[in-house]
Amino acid sequence: MSYRDLLIEVGTEELPPKTLESMSLALEDSITKSLKDEDLNFESTMPFATPRRLAVLVKELSESQTDKKISRVGPSLAAAFDESGSPTPAAIGFAKSCGVDVSKLSNVKQKGIEKLAFSLTKKGQQTIDLIPNVVRTALTSLPTEKKMRWGDSKEEFVRPIHWLLLLFGYDVVKVKIYDINSSSETWGHRFHCNKQLSVGKAGDYEALLEKEGHVVPRFQKRKELVRSLVVEEAKKANALAVIEEDLLREVASLVEYPVALLGDFDSAFLGVPPEALILAMKSHQKCFYLVDHAGNLLPKFITVSNIVSKNPALVIKGNERVIRPRLADAQFFFDTDKLQTLESRQDSLQKLIFQEKLGSVFQKSQRVASLSKSMAKLLGYSTEDCEKAARLCKCDLVTDMVREFSDLQGVVGSYYAKYDGESEEVCHAVREHYLPKFSGDKLPETTTGSVVAIADKLDTIVGLFGIGRPPTGSKDPFALRRAAIGVFRIVIEKELDLNILKMIEEAYGNYSQISLASDTVDLVFEFLLERFRSWCLERNIPTEVFHSVLTVYPERPLNFYTRIRAVDNFRRSPESKTLAAANKRVANLLSKHESEIKNEYCKEELLMSETEQSLYTAIKNKKIDVAPYYENEDYTKALLALSSLDGLVDKFFESVLVISEDAALRKNRLCLLRELRDLFLQTADISFLDHT
């Protein structure tokens, strides 16, 4: 079979830069799927994407489908013909379904029975005849948020289409899509090569555009070229360029032939919080910022142009002229905001609604302050710092800087707090209380920031559950699932020994002026436990380990996780299997006879056998041995110590009849087993580890 390369290119007006890469990959996937659906073989695919084109090169695509042999078996000969040899309705119906006369059918023997059969070799279609439908399907199914119409056409695409290149080897695949006739013509760079270029064969596409068209068509190659050009420009200034992947991806989506240029801005602007300057450069001008080797922001930037200018100094000057008013705005907002202290802005928060039924942001900050103070007292932290930080943490929402740069909430607040003379703890906490903002994000570094972050998240979760607005399915508009994980991450990774149930109860109590559902505390606690379970599963904690600890209902997440790790280690020991099975057996026995031994205890004088006495003595000794471990919450050592009971427990079940006909003996033996189970339940219910 022969093979050729297939090239598909759609030329458009400027495509959305933030979705260019994803559209390119989606087009590649769609074409790949369509080719496979048509049973066409190919070696590989390569996507291309620039601001004004989407393309896919299919390498070594077969010139036709593989011939298919179709075989069908019909009724038996006995049922297919009557006594006179004439075909029955069964034979006629089978022949008709195969599209032939009965006389064209053959016979085949299956399991000793002769049957009618039909076989046909279906010749594969030519690939060139299938390509138009493949392309049409791929383009119409391209996922985009918004599509456009242009001219008189009712067809829609993400942007108006100007040309369609469709080449199979050397041959143009003739098709008309979006009222555009396909050809072998592409277009070069809008400024450096604003003309049509004829592609001789599909495989020449990339080299032709790069050499003659002044276009780097492959997105990943262009992105890495931008990166290297920016790094090189930074080296010229003895600086380091900070290259964030999202910005790099967007810049690569805005240019076809990147050229990096180094510009300057007035060093007087460095008195403004660097985050504001950086955001202004990134969001408005798509520039990369530079830092010195100590990480300090420099009054320089790198812009990426789409042309090779004869006078680059003039282009740089133009960018400097455009960026100056953006930075001047940031400076004006900063200087204006400093005229008023953060603390004086608290009353303005009453005009901001947190949630329609949950009141204003001012009310929220008061609740968070109250919860933060209680939490700090329990943990032995500064109640003054925690309460102050909580009252101030939302105040920057009413500043000019945050109104202009919403991403800086918390960040600029920390600068204003510092300017107002607040303590370092308070300043850091104002910045950190939103953390973590996303999965894997950093946590607050300060204890005050950790406390306020937990209080803020718990207040939100409790309030929204209380008014019947929990997450549903995939919908979580207030990011409560993320907030719950954030609470657990802070508590566990920062090792904060908090009783989360009590904190939920206190958060609920802070809503005294707002009517919340009476079952809110229980619902929130269950929600948090479920999110904690998901978090543990992501860390490869087996579900049975989680549920073994959940059974003892620990209310302190740090303690909960300590138990989980201990049980997870224990389950790997050779004794765990036997002891888990024994605990499961004990649990089943006790559940059936719980009422019988409710007020009973094990009496040594009723231990009839040496095995019973040995287990009783061992349990008694183990209680003393593990007591300090439990007191210090060293559950790993406690379970390790209890694992030595393995042999005695096994021997007990082999030689002792627990459910004796003698009521006194039966109760005594059940009480002995209850003492055994209680020893383990101080850590977890290890019966969950038994899978028998």
613 token code pair: 């006495």
Q: Please state whether the peptide bond connecting residue 436 to the residue before it is cis, i.e. omega within 30 degrees of 0.
A: yes
- Picking from 42, 200, 45, 63, the residue whose alpha carbon sits closest to that of residue 130 is 63
DSSP 64: B
Mean pLDDT in residue range 631-636: 93
Distance CA 368, CA 436 (A): 17
643 token code pair: 């694992």
Question: For residue 187, which phi and psi values (nearest 5 degrees)?
Answer: -125, 145
- One-character DSSP codes across 6-47: EEEEEEESPPPGGGHHHHHHHHHHHHHHHHHHTT---SEEEE
* pLDDT value of residue 656: 86
Decide if 413 contacts 431 (C-beta within 8 A). Answer: yes
Task: Please provide the average confidence, as pLDDT, over all residues in the chain.
Answer: 92
Decide if 392 contacts 379 (C-beta within 8 A). Answer: no
- CA distance to 272, 281, 299, 317, 351, per residue, from 329 (Å): 10, 12, 16, 19, 25
Ranking 102-106, 266-270, 340-344 by mean pLDDT, the lowest is 102-106
Partner residues linked to 12 by β-bridges: 161
- Picking from 122, 126, 123, the residue whose alpha carbon sits closest to that of residue 2 is 126
Fill in the amino acid letter for 322. V
pLDDT in tens, 431-446: 999 999 998 899 999 9
DSSP 499: -
Length of the chain equals 692
Distance CA 73, CA 87 (A): 16
Distance CA 48, CA 31 (A): 13
Element (H, E) at 262: strand 259-264
Q: Compute CA 431 distance to the chain's CA centroid, rounded to the nearest angstrom.
A: 24
* pLDDT value of residue 100: 82
Distance CA 516, CA 398 (A): 28
Q: CB count, 10 Å around CB of 67?
A: 9
- Picking from 357, 382, 378, the residue whose alpha carbon sits closest to that of residue 463 is 357
Decide if 550 contacts 656 (C-beta within 8 A). Answer: no
* pLDDT value of residue 541: 93
* pLDDT value of residue 559: 94
- One-character DSSP codes across 502-562: HHHHHHHHTTTTS---TTHHHHHHHHHHHHHHHHHHHTT--HHHHHHHHTT----HHHHHH
pLDDT in tens, 304-328: 999 999 999 999 999 999 999 999 9
Instruction: Look at the pTM and tell me if it is higher than 0.85.
Output: no
Q: Compute CA 239 distance to the chain's CA centroid, rounded to the nearest angstrom.
A: 34
Go through 199-223 and write b for each residue having 16 or more CB atoms within 10 A of its CB, e for each that does not. bebbbbbbebbeeebbbbbbbeebb
- CA distance to 61, 198, 680, per residue, from 167 (Å): 12, 11, 72
Distance CA 444, CA 450 (A): 5
- One-character DSSP codes across 195-212: SEEE-SSGGGHHHHHHHT
599: burial class by Cβ within 10 Å (0-12, 13-18, 19+)? exposed
Decide if 248 contacts 207 (C-beta within 8 A). Answer: no
- Picking from 287, 276, 291, the residue whose alpha carbon sits closest to that of residue 241 is 291
* pLDDT value of residue 227: 97
Decide if 188 contacts 176 (C-beta within 8 A). Answer: no
* 222 SS3 class: helix
Q: Is the dihedral of CA 86, 88, 94, 99 positive or negative?
A: positive
Question: For residue 98, which phi and psi values (nearest 5 degrees)?
Answer: -90, -10
* pLDDT value of residue 90: 87
Domains in the chain: ranges and CATH: 3-65+126-211 (3.30.70.260), 68-122 (no CATH), 219-332 (no CATH), 343-540 (1.10.3210), 568-689 (1.10.730)
* pLDDT value of residue 405: 92
Decide if 367 contacts 524 (C-beta within 8 A). Answer: no
Mean pLDDT in residue range 573-600: 86
- Band the pLDDT of 599: cuts 50, 70, 90: confident
* pLDDT value of residue 692: 60
pLDDT in tens, 177-220: 988 999 999 999 999 999 999 999 999 999 999 999 999 999 99
Radius of gyration of the chain (CA): 37
Decide if 263 contacts 314 (C-beta within 8 A). Answer: no
* pLDDT value of residue 111: 80
Q: Is the pLDDT confidence value at 560 over 80?
A: yes
Decide if 279 contacts 407 (C-beta within 8 A). Answer: yes
Partner residues linked to 218 by β-bridges: none
Distance CA 425, CA 439 (A): 25
- One-character DSSP codes across 273-336: -HHHHHHIIIIIH-PEEEE-TTS-EEEEEEEEESS--S-HHHHHHHHHHHHHHHHHHHHHHHHH
Q: At what angle do helices 610-631 and 663-681 cross, to 10 degrees?
A: 30
* pLDDT value of residue 383: 96
Distance CA 509, CA 627 (A): 36
* pLDDT value of residue 574: 86
- Picking from 268, 397, 427, 260, the residue whose alpha carbon sits closest to that of residue 337 is 397
pLDDT in tens, 359-393: 999 999 999 999 999 999 999 999 999 999 999 99
* pLDDT value of residue 148: 85
* pLDDT value of residue 1: 66
pLDDT in tens, 237-246: 999 999 999 9
Q: Is the pLDDT confidence value at 396 over 70?
A: yes
Pure H helices in 118-218: 127-140, 205-211
